[in-house]
Amino acid sequence: MSAKSVKLENVTKQFTDDEGKVMTAVKEVSLHIEKGEFATLLGPSGCGKTTTLRMIAGFEELSNGAIMFGEDNVQNIPANKRDCTMVFQSYALFPHMSVYENICYGLKLKKLSKSEIEKRVTPIMDIMNLHVNKNRMPNQLSGGQQQRVALARALVMEPGVLLFDEPLSNLDAKLRITMRDEIRRIQKELGITAIYVTHDQSEAMSLSDRIVVMNEGRIEQVGPPMEIYQKPKTKFVSDFIGTANFLGGVVDKKDSDRLFVKTKQTTIEVLQKDADTFHEGQSVSVVVRPEAINLSKEGTESAKVLKSVFMGQIQEYELDFNGIQLYAVVADPGGKEVYYDGDSVNLTFSQRSLHVVPA
């Protein structure tokens, strides 16, 4: 198996409907996915994830731009000749073929001998735990088993690139987690380049080397999960990944790695590596994660508790901070002081967890 890198350069896709109206589903997307990397396209419904994936697979023509597998432009390679296989959301198993026949389908097309096919299929069926179901028809399998067959069928081809379109969305919550770990394990073990589409952020977080956040056909940000969460580049990303409070303000002063943001309430000092991309006087939002809010009884009482809910592992607060509603979470409330509706509290931010994005 030789994994391949995938490069998208300025990829644009426009659809023309029957009345000739043009809609742009993917806009000038450029992206480089390394050999052996697990990259996830994450974004809200309709943002162009599937379309991007389908262009990589060769099911859709590009309106503009280029896609490269390794060094080769795949523009003129038809879908059935591209070195990538796909796991479909609906699994797309061949209903008239047994599990074994489904898995062999691609190998048979490659005109491999029976023994070679056997040699390649057996280890995959081992990994996927499919031997007992070998001769069953797809409609006699559970959702999880069908999912495994779909994965096995794609893996057995030893593709340069493996594509996934929301493969777990039809499974129940528990199975989803098991399968997700399994996919990640196999991908690492075999060193495959994987591109995975989902709109479930926890899936994206747990699977990916890098996450590509998309919105309205464009890439908003590309980066490792932690960076995406802690250092979102845009308001959209910070809002879409995890939960965020926003404090609007303007840049008052700046340093090489620090910003002072003047909000209606206070001036907040934020450690920010890319401080020089901002200029003084620029309107910005300070992203405050719920866990970055500390509450205490000491000092000035700057906020009021509107609602306090005990959730077991965490205590949730809704706070009024000088006219702005904030959502805060305190972990392990058992060992800490708990505040109740109507309490006045002193509110401070964990400076290291704050982050500034353009408004």
Report the DSSP pairing between strands 218-223 and 283-288. Answer: unpaired
Say if residues 281 and 261 touch (Cβ distance below 8 Å). no
Candidates 49-57, 67-75, 152-160, 175-183; binding stretch for Mg ion (CB under 5 A): 49-57
From residue 150 to residue 189, the character string flagging contacts with ligand ATP as x (rule: CB under 6 A) and all else as - is ----------------------------------------
- Smallest separation (angstroms) from ligand ATP to the CB of 64: 15
- Smallest separation (angstroms) from another protein to the CB of 241: 29
Query: In this complex, which beta carbon is closest to another protein, that of residue 90 or of residue 296?
Result: 90
Per partner kind, with CB cut-offs from 5 to 8 A, the member of Mg ion, another protein, ligand ATP, none near residue 153 is: another protein
Reported for 58-61, long-range contacts at CB under 8 A and 24+ positions apart, including other chains, are: 58/82, 60/13
* Residues near ligand ATP (CB under 6 A), total: 12
> What torsion, rounded to 10 degrees, do the Cα atoms 141, 145, 148, 153 define?
-10
Say if residues 333 and 281 touch (Cβ distance below 8 Å). no
Per partner kind, with CB cut-offs from 5 to 8 A, the member of ligand ATP, Mg ion, another protein, none near residue 137 is: another protein
Say if residues 52 and 29 touch (Cβ distance below 8 Å). yes
Query: In this complex, which beta carbon is closest to ligand ATP, that of residue 45 or of residue 139?
Result: 45
Q: Round to whole Å and give the CA distance between 244 and 287.
A: 6
Per partner kind, with CB cut-offs from 5 to 8 A, the member of Mg ion, another protein, ligand ATP, none near residue 256 is: none
Per partner kind, with CB cut-offs from 5 to 8 A, the member of another protein, Mg ion, ligand ATP, none near residue 86 is: another protein
- For the chain, the residue count is 359
Site residues for another protein, 52-91, by CB under 8 A, read 57, 59, 61, 63, 76, 78-81, 84-86, 88-90
* Residues near another protein (CB under 8 A), total: 31
In the chain, alpha helices (H): 49-57, 99-109, 114-128, 143-155, 173-190, 201-207, 225-230, 235-240
C-alpha distances in Å from residue 23, one per residue of 13, 17, 47, 49, 65: 9, 8, 12, 15, 17
Site residues for Mg ion, 234-253, by CB under 5 A, read none
End-to-end CA distance of the chain: 46
Check binding of 50 to Mg ion (CB under 5 A).
yes
Check binding of 15 to ligand ATP (CB under 6 A).
yes
Query: In this complex, which beta carbon is closest to ligand ATP, that of residue 176 or of residue 199?
Result: 199
Q: Round to whole Å and give the CA distance between 21 and 18.
A: 7
Q: Round to whole Å and give the CA distance between 231 and 236.
A: 12
Check binding of 21 to another protein (CB under 8 A).
no
Report the DSSP pairing between strands 38-42 and 210-215. Answer: parallel
Query: In this complex, which beta carbon is closest to another protein, that of residue 163 or of residue 354?
Result: 163
Site residues for ligand ATP, 23-52, by CB under 6 A, read 23, 25, 43, 45-51
C-alpha distances in Å from residue 279, one per residue of 84, 218, 255, 309: 45, 25, 10, 40
What residues line the site for another protein (CB under 8 A)? 16, 57, 59, 61, 63, 76, 78-81, 84-86, 88-90, 92-96, 105-106, 109-110, 137-139, 153-154, 157
What residues line the site for Mg ion (CB under 5 A)? 50
